Copies of this chain bind each other. A is one copy, B any other.
Amino acid sequence: MPASTPLVAFDDPQYREAVVDLLGAIAYGEISAFERLAEDSRMAPNLEDKVAIATMAAAEFAHVAPLNERLTALGADPFQAMAPFQGPIDRFHEYTAPDDWYESLIKAYVGDGLANDFYREIAAYLDADTRDLILASLEDSGHAAFVVDRVRAAIAADHRLGGRLALWGRRLMGEALTQAQRVIVDRDALSALLAGGVDRPGIDLASISRMFTRITERHAERMTELGLAS
């Protein structure tokens, strides 16, 4: 980070620890998303869709290097920073293993969207440099239109598919919340970050409730865009 930016917040070791946690979680999340999307690309019904999903995978992985550089600049080992999140993130993927190509597409779109919304909400409580880095990592991989197009066409061709995929979207949301909640409870520094500090605003219960409302609403918007009830 630029030496010219005084970062009062980093004088607080717990704040630094929370940022290391958060960057480690995002980095491992990107690696994991990369691996799942690459696996999904093998299920693609044709080469064009294969390349589209592989492009999403490569875009996720491209975010890892800048996150690792920042972790190193903060004096942290990137791999140690990621380690605590490997369990919860792997479990999320284990419990939401797609059964077919459409479940994969929806998971790529809805899962990515949920993770982005969640990190974006937390980024609002961070110093400007960290916030900018996180927002850059969450940039849309630009393939949302591809997913929406393929899912809507499939539902139009087979209406029963819509019901199954709507259930799938709810399950993704439920698992994501379960694992996210577990991570925050397990990581003291992250919980403390949300509680605030002398030089940073905390997040009160009313704010947490509004945050979850916003995340849920955006999830519903994505499901609607896919032509699915949320």
Enumerate chain A interface residues (CB-CB to B < 8 A).
28, 31, 34-35, 38-39, 41-42, 46-48, 50-51, 54-55, 57-58, 61-62, 64, 68, 79, 82-83, 86
| Beta-carbon contact of A83 and B47 below 8 Å | yes
Query: With A31-B50, A38-B38, A39-B39 given, can you name 20 additional A-B contacts, CB distance below 8 Å?
Result: A28-B47, A31-B41, A34-B41, A34-B58, A35-B38, A35-B41, A38-B57, A39-B42, A46-B79, A47-B82, A47-B86, A51-B64, A51-B68, A51-B79, A54-B64, A55-B61, A57-B61, A58-B58, A58-B61, A58-B62
List 21 interface pairs A-B (beta carbons < 8 Å), by A numbering.
Answer: A31-B41, A31-B50, A31-B51, A31-B54, A34-B54, A34-B58, A35-B38, A35-B41, A38-B38, A38-B39, A39-B39, A39-B42, A47-B79, A47-B83, A47-B86, A48-B79, A51-B64, A51-B68, A51-B79, A54-B61, A58-B62
* Bound Cα distance A34, B53 (Å): 12
Query: In the complex, what residues of B have CB within 8 A of residue A61's CB?
Result: 54-55, 57-58
Query: In the assembly, what is the distance between CA of A204 and CA of B47, in Å?
Result: 35
A57 to chain B: closest residue by CB: B38
